[in-house]
Amino acid sequence: MSGSDSANGRKSTAPAWQFDEFRSVGRDYSQPAEAAIYDASHADFRDAIAEAERILDWLNLAPGERLIDVGCGTGTLLIQAAKRGIVGVGVDVSPAMLTQAKLKATAAGVDAIEWIHTGYLTMPPPEPAASGIVSSFSLHHLPDLWKPVALLRLRSWLAPHGRLWLHDVIAESGDPIEMQSAVAAFVARQHALGGDFLREDAEGHFRDEHSTYAWILEAMLTTAGFRILSREFAQGVIGTYRCERLD
């Protein structure tokens, strides 16, 4: 529920060699000050509500069906979903972001949302299974060694023929030279759009985080048991994949 905050999904029994998804990579949104300005700092170049509505239109979930948002941030998607009668589960490794999400949900008067401090590798299996999962700008926090593990877990959380919307920083071209050119152009556009704040954010992403190539991600998706229904790219480095669970 809107005020419901499930226990930290991180397990003390996780093997010592498992990737620590709770460790901050890139801009540190575990800090309350960063989480508090997240929506405002992105408002000039993203319409989060319009994005959420497009995702929900594609998922086409019925009232009462369950939607999991992994890396839910400040909860915009799930708040919009709750207005449609969809039962939401918000997953994030940042307690500060979950705090902002709960405040927004309360202000919006929605209560069909459960917030869980956990991540791809540590979330307990949901009961019942979800009809839809969204992963937006969050899978890149995992190195490529661990992305297939995460995708296999996402598939296991979905009901048969459940849908996955995956949106992230992904290199469309498999050519390393073309990739670097696309990254340089993207960083320049971000600088023009939002000054040093967005430039530094983009530079830090490509330097420190774990984005991958489209051909690698597509192999991971199919191996994990997803059918790729469609894909589209913007600026050569922002990819959207619409998938369904294969059964």
pLDDT of residue 112: 85
Element spanning 48, H or E: helix 48-59
Q: Is 70 exceeded by the pLDDT of residue 80? A: yes
**pTM for the predicted model, two decimal places:** 0.91
The answer to whether residues 150 and 168 touch, using CB atoms and an 8 Å cutoff, is: no
pLDDT tens for 157-182 read 999 999 999 999 999 999 999 999 99
Q: Is 60 exceeded by the pLDDT of residue 10? A: no
225: left (phi over 0), alpha (psi -120 to 50) or beta: left
Per-chain mean pLDDT for the chain: 91
The answer to whether residues 145 and 118 touch, using CB atoms and an 8 Å cutoff, is: no
pLDDT tens for 113-156 read 999 999 999 999 999 999 999 999 999 999 999 999 999 999 99
Q: What domains are there in the chain, each with its CATH number?
A: 5-174+212-245 (3.40.50.150)
Residues near 45 by Cβ (< 8 Å), separated by ≥ 6?
Answer: 193, 194, 198
| 207 class by beta-carbon count within 10 Å (0-12 exposed, 13-18 middle, 19+ buried) | exposed
Q: Which residue has the tokens 């051909």?
A: 215
CA 42 from chain centre, in angstroms, equals 15
Instruction: Report the sign of the C-alpha dihedral through residues 177, 182, 185, 186, in that order.
Output: negative
The answer to whether residues 105 and 81 touch, using CB atoms and an 8 Å cutoff, is: no
When pLDDT is cut at 50, 70 and 90, the band that residue 2 belongs to is: very low
As a whole number of angstroms, the distance between CA 61 and CA 132 comes to 7
